[in-house]
């Protein structure tokens, strides 16, 4: 199983469309930036057929330092979450 990174994604899109590598890189960067900015504002981003990106609040909790076995407090934080859409789920089955 191979990992697909940003460069591989850009190459795949360039191979399918009549666009330059520079243009495709700019489009992908813009999409990632817009999703990031929307999540930063607390908005939900839905790409129909692909999935939904949203922000989730994780409560503070107690954990254990694996090296010292001492109890530590893990602070509350906001984390991004992704839920796959129906089309994506069916494609992966």
- Number of structural domains in the chain: 2
48 and 24 housed in the same domain: no
* pLDDT at res. 19: 93
* pLDDT at res. 2: 82
d(CA 51, CA 18): 26
48 and 93 housed in the same domain: yes
Q: At what angle do helices 6-16 and 21-40 cross, to 10 degrees?
A: 130
Indicate the pTM of the whole model: 0.81
27 and 53 housed in the same domain: no
57 and 78 housed in the same domain: yes
Q: What percent of the chain has pLDDT over 70?
A: 99
49 and 86 housed in the same domain: yes
51 and 38 housed in the same domain: no
| Structural domain boundaries enclosing 1 | 1-42
């Amino acid at each position: 199983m191979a990992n697909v990174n940003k460069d591989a994604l850009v190459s795949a899109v360039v191979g399918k469309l009549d666009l330059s590598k520079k243009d495709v890189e700019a489009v992908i960067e813009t999409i990632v930036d817009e999703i990031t900015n929307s999540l930063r504002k607390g908005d939900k981003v839905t790409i129909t057929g692909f999935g939904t990106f949203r922000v989730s609040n994780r409560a503070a909790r107690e954990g254990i330092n694996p090296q010292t076995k001492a109890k530590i407090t893990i602070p509350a934080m906001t984390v991004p979450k992704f839920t796959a859409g129906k089309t994506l789920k069916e494609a992966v089955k």
